[in-house]
């Protein structure tokens, strides 16, 4: 991609134009600082607050999104690295009328307390069930090990994943 | 800060020679943390994730040439047979989100003594292939690590690939931490047995200024293993081996553990790794009992 080497703000900082597809819609975003993360772009420039900003070091999984069909932490992806990429955030999961089955399962199982970790866990669960529709408990734990929840103790989250798997 | 996203290796090398202070980013699992926390403000960010050569691996006969950006997820999904020790270590990296992005090139570029890939690379005798605009060179892994977060990589060079010999015997990896996921190793240990050369390779992580080999332990094991009939490793040999590994470590006390704890855990896990890797070697050579 071309960095906006010739486009500089009043402090001489380079600014970039980024083109990518987010939740099925092509987006062109201007004035991006080259050192910012995909998470910052989503939350602060596109108004998509679903992916949460917590640790900014990949420890908590709250900012999990799908980047070209791969589960990643949006805080660890450079904005410029997603030029031309396809991104799915939690906002892109539900249909017009219904929630995504995984979202519904989290609600039905009572797996949401404060809700801060929920978007990341739902994205990670969708990713798991796409590759493994009937995971064992240890497979669920392994797949969700990168997502921290400080409220629930994870029992209800496990219930929600089992429920989503059982409903197919 | 400027951002470059070259689409070919040649362009990447040109940019690195033009901007030797450029910070390379690929998986971003280390570099983005530095940026997010204001710890680094490079003048130039050189994104290598669009360079095709860096995200492939190839079979070179006796070795695997592993592109610097091949993710940990792909290593254990695609190379567990050829590189079992590195695959085991790759499974322990961070979380799925981290393993989906990070790769061995970044582990080497960061050169943290706690990097999970290092013990397997030391144990197998890997070479790091680096390049600048004028050409390539291979750096023996034993000469790659120079200090905490310091390596033999020159400012105008980019890590291209890692040449790793295929397993010729059992390999193991063990890591000590407070939980399975998202752990920076308190200590880690890798072993690779070469049944053809009748030799044993080791690598110690997180217990010194750089990843280390335990040369005395390697020599002792090679001399005391039963290469003829592959009888199981005795408790005496395990204990002696573990002691020699612990003695080779140069740990410090820090927030993750004390030096004494690091030595102790190394002696325990290395002895187990010797036992298990020898058992695997025996199964490979003699068939399952």
Helix B259-286 and helix B235-248: axis angle, to 10°?
A: 130
> What's the rounded Cα separation, in Å, for the pair B81 and B236?
31
Q: What is the pLDDT of residues A71-114, one digit of tens each?
A: 999 999 999 999 999 999 999 999 999 999 999 999 999 999 99
Confidence band of A124 (pLDDT split at 50, 70, 90): very high
Q: Which letter does DSSP use for residue B257 in this model? A: B
Q: Output the pLDDT for position B132.
A: 98
- Separation CA B93–CA B104 (nearest Å): 11
Residues of A in contact with B33 (CB under 8 A): 56-58, 76
> Between chains, do A81 and B47 touch, taking CB under 8 Å as contact?
yes
- The reply to whether residue B97 touches residue A64, judged by beta carbons under 8 angstroms, is yes
pLDDT digits (tens, 9 = 90+) for A4-53: 455 777 777 789 999 999 999 999 999 999 999 999 999 999 999 999 99
Q: Which of A34, A66, A84, A121 to mutate to test the interface with B (most CBs of B within 10 A)?
A: A34
CB contact (8 A) between residue B33 and residue A80: no
pLDDT greater than 60 at residue A136: yes
Q: How far is A60 from chain B (nearest CA, A)?
A: 9
DSSP helix/strand/coil, B1: coil
CA distance B34 to chain A (A): 9
Least CB–CB distance from B28: residue in A5, A59, A77: A77
How high is the ipTM of this complex?
0.94
Is the CB of A102 inside 8 Å of chain B's CB atoms?
A: no
pLDDT above 90 for B285 = no
The pLDDT score that the predictor gives to residue A158 is: 98
- Tell me the C-alpha to C-alpha distance, in Å, between residue B102 and each of B105, B110, B117: 8, 12, 11
pLDDT value at position B180?
Answer: 85
- The answer to whether the beta carbons of residues A5 and A45 sit under 8 Å apart is no
Q: How many CB atoms lie within 10 A of CB B58?
A: 10
Inform me whether the pLDDT recorded for B289 exceeds 70.
no
The answer to whether B101 contacts A5, with C-beta atoms less than 8 Å apart, is no
Q: What residue ranges define each of the domains in chain B, with the CATH number in brackets? A: 2-48+58-165 (3.30.465.10), 171-286 (3.30.390.50)
Under a CB-based contact definition with an 8 Å cutoff, are residues B122 and B211 in contact? yes
pLDDT of residue A13: 79
CB A161 within 8 A of CB A132: no
Of the candidates A66, A81, A127, the residue with the CA atom closest to the CA atom of residue B32? A81
A64 touching chain B per CB within 8 A: yes
Average pLDDT rounded to a whole number, residues B143-164: 97
Between CA B279 and CA B201 the distance in angstroms is 16
**Is the CB of A34 less than 8 angstroms away from the CB of B182?**
no
**Of B94, B96, B98, which has the smallest distance from its Cβ to A143's Cβ?**
B96
Nearest-angstrom CA–CA distance, B144 and B123: 14
- Mean pLDDT of the A148-159 span: 95
Reported as a single tens digit per residue, the pLDDT across A36-46 is 999 999 999 99
Instruction: Report d(CA A12, CA B1) in Å as an integer.
Output: 9
- Condensed to tens digits (0 to 9), the pLDDT of residues B220-273 reads 999 999 999 999 999 999 999 999 999 999 999 999 999 999 999 999 999 999
Contacts of A75 in chain B (CB under 8 A): 32, 36
* Ordered domains of chain A (ranges, CATH): 16-90 (3.10.20.30), 101-167 (1.10.150.120)
Distance CA A83, CA A85 (A): 5
Q: How does residue B201 score in pLDDT terms, banded at 50, 70 and 90?
A: very high
**Distance in angstroms (rounded) separating the CA atoms of residues A25 and B153:** 42
Chain B hits for A57, Cβ within 8 Å: 33, 36-37
B229 DSSP assignment: T
Does the beta carbon of A58 lie under 8 angstroms from any beta carbon of chain B? Answer: yes
How far B35 CA sits from the closest chain A CA (Å)?
7
Q: What percent of chain A has pLDDT over 70?
A: 96
What is the per-residue pLDDT for B181? 87
Q: What is the pLDDT of residue B105?
A: 98
Whole-angstrom Cα distance, residue A20 to residue A86? Answer: 6
| Token pair for B120 | 């397997």
How many other CB atoms sit within 10 Å of the CB of residue B266?
Answer: 30
Tell whether A70 is within 8 A of chain B (Cβ): yes
């Amino acid at each position: 991609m071309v960095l906006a080497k010739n486009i500089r703000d009043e402090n001489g900082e380079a600014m970039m134009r980024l083109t990518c597809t987010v939740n099925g819609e092509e987006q062109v975003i201007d004035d991006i600082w080259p050192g910012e993360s995909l998470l910052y772009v989503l939350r602060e420039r596109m108004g998509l607050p679903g992916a949460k900003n917590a640790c900014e070091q990949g420890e908590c999984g709250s900012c999990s999104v799908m980047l070209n069909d791969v589960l990643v932490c949006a805080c660890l992806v450079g904005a410029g690295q997603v030029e031309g990429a396809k991104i799915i955030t939690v906002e892109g999961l539900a249909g017009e009328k219904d929630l995504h089955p995984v979202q519904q399962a989290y609600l039905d199982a009572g797996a949401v307390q404060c809700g801060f970790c929920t978007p990341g866990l739902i994205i990670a669960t969708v990713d798991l069930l796409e590759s493994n529709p009937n995971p064992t408990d240890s497979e669920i734990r392994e797949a969700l090990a990168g997502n921290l929840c400080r409220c629930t103790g994870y029992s209800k989250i496990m219930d929600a994943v089992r429920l989503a798997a059982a409903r197919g | 800060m400027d951002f470059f996203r070259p689409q070919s290796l040649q362009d990447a090398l040109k940019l690195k020679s033009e901007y030797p202070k450029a910070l390379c980013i690929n998986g971003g699992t280390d570099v983005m943390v530095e940026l997010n926390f204001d710890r680094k403000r490079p003048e130039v960010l050189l994104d290598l994730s669009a360079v095709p050569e860096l995200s492939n691996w190839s079979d070179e006969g006796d070795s695997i040439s592993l592109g610097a950006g091949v993710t940990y997820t792909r290593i254990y999904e695609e190379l567990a047979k050829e590189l079992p020790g590195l695959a085991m270590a790759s499974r322990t990296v961070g979380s799925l989100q981290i393993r989906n992005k990070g790769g061995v090139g970044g582990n080497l570029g960061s050169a943290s003594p706690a990097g999970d890939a290092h013990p397997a690379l030391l144990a197998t005798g890997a070479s790091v292939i680096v390049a600048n605009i004028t050409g390539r060179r291979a750096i023996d892994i034993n000469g790659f690590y120079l200090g905490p977060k310091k390596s033999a990589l020159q400012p105008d060079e980019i890590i291209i690939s890692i040449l790793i010999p295929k397993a010729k015997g059992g390999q193991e990896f063990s890591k000590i931490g407070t939980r399975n996921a998202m752990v920076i190793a308190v200590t880690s240990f890798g072993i690779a047995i070469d049944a053809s050369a009748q030799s044993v390779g080791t690598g110690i992580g997180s217990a010194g200024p750089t990843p280390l080999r335990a040369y005395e332990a390697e020599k002792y094991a090679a001399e005391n293993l039963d290469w003829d009939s592959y009888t199981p490793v005795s408790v005496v040999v395990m204990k002696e081996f573990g002691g020699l590994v612990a003695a080779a470590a140069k740990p410090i006390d820090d927030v993750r553990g004390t030096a004494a704890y690091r030595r102790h855990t190394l002696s325990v896990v290395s002895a187990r790794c010797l036992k298990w890797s020898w058992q695997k070697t025996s199964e490979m050579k003699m068939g399952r009992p």
